[in-house]
Structure 1
Amino acid sequence: MDIYATLFELIDMRSFSNLWYWIALAVLWSTTSHFVLGVPFDLALKAKRHGGERMRDFEDLVRINTRRVLTIAEVSGLLLTALAGAVTSTLAITGFVYDVEFSQAVFFMAFPMLFVAAINIRMAHKIRDREIRGEALVATLRRHRFYVQLIGMCAIFVTAMWGMYQNLVTGPLGG
């Protein structure tokens, strides 16, 4: 059997009918909702439960990641915004105007992440400006995680609806 045929059978370019796409989508949103501002959420729960040194470590990690997010936003924000806009627009045009299913699939993964990035920057500003500490910081990150999960649920729902529509329209043989 030809190696290219085997490879394309494994990496089926019809993304919405491919199990690997749905696994990647689940991993993307699971990881995104677990690492709130780059900090594993289980550390927030442990810090709240045990306090003391764990809370200080948690606060330090949040402070480091908050500063990192804000530095990236301030130094490279304009360039990253332009690049994200160009990539997202290219995916949208090739996906929905030229009907390339792979571009549609990547668009449904990338577009909601723009909203997550925006609320991450907003949350980082809030934490830095208000100097939130202790249990208030845990509560703030819990609320932020809820919004990230809400974006994720909406994104997965819309992706699933579009994917089912695509699978019904194209049929099992892709044509």
Structure 2
Amino acid sequence: MEKDTKSLAGERDLPLPSPVLAALRAFRALQAKERLALGEAYTASGYVLVHETGEAFTIKQLRRRTYRLMQLLGLRRVRLYDARSSCFTYLANNGVPDHLLARWAGHTNVKTTKRWYVKPDVEDLRGAAATWDGLHGGAAEGNSDLRVPPAEPYGQHD
């Protein structure tokens, strides 16, 4: 099923990251071989993700193939739409400014992108934890010179 974008912000050109561009070029070369082998039986659908015959995948077929690939590569199975959040979280964690995240997502409002698509998890917080290590000279883990004194019983202080 095809549908239009939700807003004009969704109508945008995006630069392709180098690994994606390389993969798409390799895929185009494979499709050219398949088209040549099938001749007139090949359907030039205009879609990127197609069967060997050129027919576009349905969403269900695409999902099944993606899950199979995740399993083959030993990756945790995630819904395709959730991968969108993972990508935006990655970009945010690596310093991409909010206004560029929103533009990439096709949103007119930065808050939408941050609220629904940037989802840091515990691993993402390790960098913040490391920043705390720098407070007061960065006490080394296991340093026996720095001990937390035992708490005083309630109500017994000077």
Larger radius of gyration: 2
TM range (shorter): under 0.3
TM-score by length of 2: 0.24
RCO (CA 8 Å, sep 6+): is it higher in 1 or 2? Answer: 1
Higher helix proportion (structure 1 or 2): 1
| TM-score (normalizing by structure 1) | 0.22
